[in-house]
Structure 1
C-alpha cells in the first residue's frame, strides 16, 4: 500500500481592499500518485497559474489572465518551472542526506509573494519548508536567512555569504511583486473586486441533530457568523466551520449550534451573519430549518462539490501549507511569469 500524504491548508484569505499574489512550489519524492513537482499561482486565493511535471507546461486557470497575457508569458513560465523541477531533484537529495533519510515520502515547498492593503501597507514573504515544517526563511530587515532547523544552518551560512541574493529577493518582494500584483488586479478587477452577499440557511441533518447556520455564495471572504440567545451573543456550544472556496470562486462557511431541540424551542436563538456592512438575521424556528435527511438543499450540494474539487486541486498541486502559518505570498519575473531565483541555489 502506498503511503498517504496528508495535505494541510492554512489560508490567509484576502478581504475587501487587500490583495495578495502568491506562488507555491511543491516537490514530493517517493511513491506518489500525483505529479512530483507543481507550481500554483494565486491572486487573492484564487488560482490563476498552474504547472506540473507531468504536463510540463504552464497553463492559465482564469479567463482574465488568459485574455491579458500572450504566449511568451506561458513559454517563459514553462521554462522557469522546468528548471525549478530539476533544482528540486538535486536539492531534495541533499536534504534527505542531512535528515538521514533514505526511504519514504518527503516534501519540499517554497512559498513566496506579496500583499498590498488599501492604506499602501506592503508585506512580502519568502519561506522554504521541508516535510511540512519550517526550514529556512528570508529576513528582509537584516537581509539574511533564518534557519528553523539545525539541518538548515549550513544552508543559511552559505546563502548569507551570497548577500546580493537576499537583497535581490527583498527588492523583488517589495517592488516588482507589488507591481505585478497591481497589474493582475487590474486584469481581473471585475472578478477580484466584486461584492456578493451571502445566502443564509438554517440546516439540520435530522430532527434531533444540531442546527447549522450556513452562509454561501459570498465574496470577498470576510464574513462573521454568530449565534444570539434572547438577544445576547451566545458563544457556548458553538462550532465555527472552516472557510471553503466554492467552484465559482465565492466562499461558504457554517456555524453549528450544539443545543438540543428542546432547548432552542424554549428560547429565542438567532443566527447573525455580517458581510461587507450588511447584516442578515435568521431566527431559529422549526419552519425555517432545511433538512437534508429527506432531500439535500442545493446549497449543500454545491458546497460538497466545491470541497471535492478543491481537494482534487490541492492533491494535484501538492498544497502542503503549514498548519501554523496564516499564509505566504508569490513572486514573478520581469516578464510576468513566476520565477524563483534563490531556489536555484543549492542547500
Structure 2
C-alpha cells in the first residue's frame, strides 16, 4: 500500500513543489497465482486521488469520487467498462506469454502498466509516461521523443521489437499522451476542483518511543500530497542521521508523512534542532522546535493509550487499508515493481501487453 501511494503521487525530496502540477494516471495490473484476488484490476487517479475502478470480478467500471459519478453519465461508464474488459483479456494473454521467457509456470506473478500525463498549470509544460513492470522489475517503457521502446531486460527484447513495428500505433499513443490525456486531465480537474484544488494545513508532532530512540517528526492531515518534512540544526538543513518515510494517505482523503532524526538527548539539548514541514500550495512553513516539552512519548508508562507513539499514525493507516481495499491487487504489483525499479519513469506513450493485439483499443480516455 505504502509503495503504491508513493509511486502514484510522485512525491520528491525537494523543498519546494509546484502547486500547479497536475496528473492523470492509470494503473493496470494482471496477476496469477494469488487466491481470492481479482486477476485484473484497473485504477484511474487524478492528482493521486482514485477516480475510477474496475476488476475482473465485478466486471464494470465504477466511480470512486462523488464528483465523477455526478459529472459523467451511463454512456461514459459503459464505454470505460468495455475498454477495461478488452484490456483484461489482453493482459491475461500477456502475462501467460511472458512466463515462459523466465522459465516460469506456476507461482505468483504480476504484470503492471502505469501510464498517464502531467500538466503544469503555470508553465503549460506537459509530460507523458508509460511503463510496464513484471514481477517487480522494469520490463519495457516507451520513449515519447523517439517513439521507441526501452527494454532493460533480455526477456523484453521480443516485446520491444514487436511493438516498434507498429509505427501507426505508437504515433497514436503519443497523440493520446500529449493531447487527449491532457484534455481529459483538465476536464477531471474541473469536475473535482472543490476537492482537488483545496489546501489543508498539517498537524505536526514530535514522537519518540524511548529516550534513545530516533525522534520522529509526524505531519498529518494535510492536502495536497506534495510535502517536505525535513530537519534543521542551528538553521541548516540536516541530512546525516535523517530517514525520510513515505507519504501515506489517511482515510479522510488527507495525507501523512514521517521523518526520523537519530540524535542523542545531549546533542539536541545543546543545539537547536527543529522540524520544518512545507505543503504544496501553502506558503507558510510549519515548524516544531525539538525540546523536551514538545516530545510526545509513553516511555515509562505501563498502559498504552491513544497517544502512544507506537500507535500514533497507525489508525489512519488501518483506515487506508480498508478504504483502499479496492486497489489491493494493483498495490501488490506496483509495490513490488517500484521498490526494485532502477530506471524510474520514462517519458512515454502507451500500449498494453505482449499479445499480437497489444493495446488495441485498450487506452482509457
TM-score (norm 2): 0.82
User: Quick one: distance in 2 between partners of 1:330 and 1:35?
Assistant: 27
Q: Quick check: 52-61 or 277-286, which moved more?
A: 277-286
Q: Quick check: 238-247 or 291-300, which moved more?
A: 291-300
Q: Deviations over 1:172-231 (max 9, x none)?
A: 111011000000000011111111111111112234433211111112222222223344
Q: Following TM superposition, by how much is the alpha carbon of 1:101 offset from its aligned partner in structure 2, in angstroms?
A: 1.4
User: Quick one: distance in 1 between partners of 2:324 and 2:106?
Assistant: 26
User: Quick one: distance in 2 between partners of 1:151 and 1:257?
Assistant: 42
2:316 equivalent to 1:303: yes
Corresponding position of 1:268 = 272
User: Quick one: distance in 1 between partners of 2:297 and 2:125?
Assistant: 45
The counterpart of 1:67, out of the listed 70, 73, 81, is 70
What's the C-alpha RMSD, in Å, of the aligned pairs? 2.8
Q: Give structure 2 stretches of 5+ with no counterpart.
A: 12-16, 359-365
**SS of the counterpart of 1:166?**
helix
**SS of the counterpart of 2:7?**
coil
Corresponding position of 2:362 = none
Corresponding position of 2:49 = 46
CA gap of 1:266–1:245, structure 2 versus 1, over 3 A, is same
Question: What pairs up with 1:324-343 in 2 under 5 angstroms?
Answer: 324=341, 326=344, 343=353
Corresponding position of 1:92 = 95
**SS of the counterpart of 1:304?**
helix
Q: Is the 8 A contact 1:129 1:135 kept in 2?
A: yes
User: Quick one: distance in 1 between partners of 2:316 and 2:186?
Assistant: 31
Q: Is the 8 A contact 1:25 1:40 kept in 2?
A: yes
Q: Following TM superposition, by how much is the alpha carbon of 1:83 offset from its aligned partner in structure 2, in angstroms?
A: 1.7
2:146 equivalent to 1:142: yes
**SS of the counterpart of 1:101?**
coil
2:322 equivalent to 1:315: no
Q: Following TM superposition, by how much is the alpha carbon of 1:136 offset from its aligned partner in structure 2, in angstroms?
A: 2.1
Q: Following TM superposition, by how much is the alpha carbon of 1:292 offset from its aligned partner in structure 2, in angstroms?
A: 4.7
Q: Quick check: 238-247 or 220-229, which moved more?
A: 220-229
Q: Deviations over 1:128-180 (max 9, x none)?
A: 22222222222222223333332222222222222100001001111011000
Question: What pairs up with 1:124-273 in 2 under 5 angstroms?
Answer: 124-273=128-277
Q: Is the 8 A contact 1:202 1:290 kept in 2?
A: yes
Q: Give structure 1 stretches of 5+ with no counterpart.
A: 332-339
Q: Is the 8 A contact 2:143 2:150 kept in 1?
A: yes
Q: Is the 8 A contact 1:113 1:329 kept in 2?
A: no
**SS of the counterpart of 1:47?**
strand
Corresponding position of 1:336 = none
Question: What pairs up with 1:11-30 in 2 under 5 angstroms?
Answer: 11=8, 12-13=10-11, 15-30=18-33
Q: Is the 8 A contact 1:24 1:319 kept in 2?
A: no
Q: Following TM superposition, by how much is the alpha carbon of 1:116 offset from its aligned partner in structure 2, in angstroms?
A: 0.5
Q: Is the 8 A contact 2:174 2:348 kept in 1?
A: no
Corresponding position of 1:334 = none
Q: Following TM superposition, by how much is the alpha carbon of 1:317 offset from its aligned partner in structure 2, in angstroms?
A: 3.0
User: Quick one: distance in 1 between partners of 2:356 and 2:196?
Assistant: 35
Q: Deviations over 1:219-246 (max 9, x none)?
A: 2222222223344433332222111111
CA gap of 1:149–1:85, structure 2 versus 1, over 3 A, is same
Corresponding position of 2:14 = none
Q: Quick check: 8-17 or 125-134, which moved more?
A: 8-17
User: Quick one: distance in 2 between partners of 1:155 and 1:208?
Assistant: 53
TM-score (norm 1): 0.86
Q: Tell me the number of residue pairs that the alignment of Structure 1 and Structure 2 aligns.
A: 335
Corresponding position of 2:7 = 10
Q: Following TM superposition, by how much is the alpha carbon of 1:123 offset from its aligned partner in structure 2, in angstroms?
A: 0.7
